[in-house]
């Protein structure tokens, strides 16, 4: 509930503080005095976009502060949980927002205040135009129980999410099984077990690639050593030349030793050539194996060790997928049951809503007459689209006009009164005045009585007073018949003073006592606050409203 509002340097207000109470609060005053500016100030707290032009001439910034008691609190006259919100609008730069003295974003401030205040007016946002709010309030007024429906929807969503996590999509699951099975088969077919296999194969490849050259070299070496005119034969010729000459005996001995060594080397070369035969088939096989291992590494890991580790992970994943079959089957059975129950509950709720719609529409139409829209029509359309039920409020202001969604109603004055009528109908349908209703605790109606007069004006006032039995109501009005029903009346006045730069308009807001209310109501009735006749009529209005005028 809004307890206190402070407006500084906003438009014609230099510094004004207004206190409000539970029940119905009326804001009155001459046209142009600044009544709607107070509503605009509250709208700034609730998220309306700022405009530097609203800053009072000569000031650098405007300030709006609001003190609220939170829903469920004892009220303004007792200890209550409170929140203080404020918004600063500078002439240059961005606005600043605060909640309990702590700077917050504009969206945070808006969220806080929109949960506390609903503004209904020609240029303000309307809480009741939300499709979801219309549906929820309709369900509340008509006692449509949607608890089981919401519970089943949550359960279905939870089961669907769980099945997604288990890979319950059959196409995706089969795709995953096929991929993992193919990968496992590819690695298993390669018989990769030794992480060092590539190093061993490369060494063998190098040896095989050089085998033919080694054999040829060994054979040429043997031929050079022991072949025709080879080293061994020439050394033999040298030994023969030396003969038995004693002076050359030492040389002959050394040459004999060299000859024996040459023969031994030639024998080793022959044996090596015989043992080391070229094997091109094995060389090709080693090359193919190395190519296969390289392909596996590109797909499954930079090393053979990681390829082996990936194979084990695949085996584990496949085991889990197959093990999940039973769990998926159980979840699917539960989901089928939940979806079947949800469809049945959706049908029940849809039938309940459609069955309640005519009665609720008739009740609202009765209250449209109360607020001065005697020939207006109201309807409720309930449709089901792809499993989603939409409740739309329909309205036609005049006979012969087609009923359209309330959100498309063009006239702000009509819209305000429609909202008032539906609010009152909801309160009565929910169990009469004083019933707990959902939505903000403070309802503001700006110019709700536009185009209304006489008995209809008194009916509007009575309707607002009835609504105020369960909500705090703030109403900006020009009609004494409406203001007389208020529990508290605040008058907004303005005066033109002089400052250093010339004339400057200044507005103020004052709480009226009983005698002051009579004077203000007399002004509203006749334009002559000092008229004895007007004051008498004003007192009659107050007495009639306090006596509980029947609406």
If you search the block for the tokens 């819209």, which residue do you land on? 415
394 DSSP β-pair partners:
379, 405
Q: How many CB atoms lie within 10 A of CB 485?
A: 30
Tell how strand 61-69 and strand 13-19 pair up. unpaired
Residue with the two structure tokens 């080391």: 276
* Domain contains 290: yes
pLDDT at position 437, please? 54
Q: Which domain holds residue 209?
A: 196-302
Examine residue 76 and state whether it is found in any structural domain, yes or no.
Answer: no
Instruction: Look at residue 434 in the predicted model and tell me its pLDDT.
Output: 41
Is residue 8 a part of any domain in this protein?
no
pTM over 0.75: no
Q: Which residues neighbour 547 within 8 Å (Cβ) at sequence distance 6 or greater?
A: none
| CA torsion angle 36 37 39 44 (round to 10) | 150
In-domain check, residue 416: no
Structural contact between residues 361 and 134, judged by C-beta atoms closer than 8 angstroms: no
CA distance 372 to 68: 32
510 in a structural domain: no
- What's the token pair of residue 65? 């502060």
Helix residue ranges, H only, 46-146: 106-114, 131-141
Question: pLDDT tens digits for the chain (551 residues)?
Answer: 999 999 999 988 999 999 999 999 999 998 888 888 899 899 999 888 888 888 998 899 999 999 999 876 555 455 568 999 999 999 998 999 999 999 999 889 988 998 898 887 655 445 667 788 888 888 988 889 999 999 999 999 998 888 877 765 667 777 888 888 998 899 888 888 888 888 888 887 777 777 767 777 878 888 888 888 888 888 888 888 887 788 888 888 888 888 888 888 888 888 877 766 667 787 788 889 889 899 998 988 889 889 999 999 998 888 877 777 777 788 888 999 999 999 999 999 999 999 999 999 999 998 888 777 888 899 999 998 877 899 999 999 888 888 988 878 756 667 767 877 887 787 776 554 443 455 688 988 887 776 666 777 788 888 888 888 888 999 998 889 899 999 999 999 988 765 555 567 788 899 999 899 999 999 988 888 888 898 999 998 888 887 654 33
* pLDDT at residue 124 in the model: 47
**Collapsed DSSP state (helix, strand, coil) of residue 10:** strand
**Spatial distance between the Cα atoms of 256 and 242, rounded to a whole number of angstroms:** 12
First to last CA, the chain: 26
What pLDDT sits at residue 551? 36
Contacts of 406 (CB under 8 A, 6+ apart): 128, 129, 134, 392, 393, 394, 395, 415, 418
The total domain count for the chain is 1
Residue 214 lies in a domain: yes
Helices (H), ranges, 468-513: 480-483
Give which of 520, 528, 550 is closest to 539, Cα–Cα.
Answer: 520
Contact present, 476 and 524 (Cβ < 8 Å) = no
In a domain, 253, yes or no: yes
Structure-token pair, residue 297: 């590494």
Q: What is the DSSP secondary structure assignment for residue 201, as one 8-state letter?
A: H
Beta carbons within 10 angstroms of residue 438's beta carbon: 11
Determine the Cα–Cα distance for residues 20 and 360; give it in Å rounded to an integer: 33
pLDDT of residue 125: 45
């Amino acid at each position: 509930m809004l307890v206190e509002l402070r407006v500084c340097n906003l438009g014609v207000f230099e510094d004004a503080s207004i206190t409000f109470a539970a029940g119905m609060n009326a804001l009155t005053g001459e046209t142009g005095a600044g009544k709607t500016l107070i509503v605009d100030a509250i709208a700034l707290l609730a998220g309306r976009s700022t405009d530097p032009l609203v800053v009072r001439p000569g000031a650098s910034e405007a300030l709006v502060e609001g003190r609220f008691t939170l829903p469920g609190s004892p009220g303004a006259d007792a200890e209550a949980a409170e929140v203080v919100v404020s918004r600063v609008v500078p002439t240059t730069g961005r606005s600043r927002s605060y909640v309990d003295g702590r700077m917050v974003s504009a969206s945070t401030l808006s969220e806080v205040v929109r949960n506390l205040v609903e503004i209904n007016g020609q240029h303000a946002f309307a809480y009741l135009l939300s499709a979801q709010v219309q549906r929820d309030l309709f369900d509340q007024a008509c006692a449509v129980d949607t608890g089981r429906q919401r519970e089943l929807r949550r359960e279905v969503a939870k089961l669907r999410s769980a099945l997604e996590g288990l890979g319950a999509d059959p196409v995706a699951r089969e795709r995953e099984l096929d991929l993992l099975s193919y990968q496992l088969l590819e690695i298993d077919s390669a018989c990769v077990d030794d992480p060092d296999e590539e190093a061993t194969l490369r060494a063998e490849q190098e040896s095989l690639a050089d085998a033919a050259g080694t054999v040829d070299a060994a054979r040429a070496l043997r031929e050079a050593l022991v072949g025709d005119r080879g080293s061994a034969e020439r050394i033999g010729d040298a030994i023969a030349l030396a003969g038995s000459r004693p002076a050359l005996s030492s040389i002959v001995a050394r040459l004999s030793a060299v000859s024996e060594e040459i023969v031994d080397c030639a024998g080793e070369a022959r044996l090596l050539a015989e043992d080391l035969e070229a094997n091109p088939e094995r060389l090709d096989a080693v090359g193919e194996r190395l190519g296969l291992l390289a392909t596996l590494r590109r797909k499954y890991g930079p090393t053979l060790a990681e390829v082996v580790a990936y194979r084990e992970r695949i085996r584990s994943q496949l085991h889990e997928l197959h093990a999940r079959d039973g769990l998926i089957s159980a979840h699917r059975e539960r989901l089928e049951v939940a979806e079947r129950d949800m469809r049945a509950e959706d049908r029940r709720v849809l039938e309940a809503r459609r069955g309640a719609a005519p009665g609720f529409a008739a009740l609202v139409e009765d209250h449209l007459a109360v607020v001065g829209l005697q020939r207006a029509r109201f309807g409720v359309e309930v449709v089901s689209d792809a499993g989603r039920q939409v409740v739309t409020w329909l309205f036609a202001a005049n006979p012969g006009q087609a009923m359209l969604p309330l959100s498309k109603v063009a006239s702000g004055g009509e819209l305000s009164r429609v909202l008032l009528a539906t609010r009152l109908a909801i309160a009565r349908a929910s169990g009469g005045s004083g019933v707990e209703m959902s939505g903000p605790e403070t309802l503001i109606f700006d110019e709700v009585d536009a185009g209304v007069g006489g008995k209809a004006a008194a009916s509007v006032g009575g309707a607002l007073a009835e609504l105020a039995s369960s909500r705090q109501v703030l109403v900006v009005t020009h009609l004494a018949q409406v203001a007389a029903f208020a529990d508290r009346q605040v008058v907004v006045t303005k005066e033109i003073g002089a400052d250093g730069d010339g004339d400057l308009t200044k507005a103020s807001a004052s709480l009226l006592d009983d005698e002051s209310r009579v004077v203000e109501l007399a002004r509203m009735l006749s334009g002559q606050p000092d008229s004895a006749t007007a004051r008498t009529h004003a007192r009659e209005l107050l007495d009639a409203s306090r006596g509980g005028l029947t609406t």
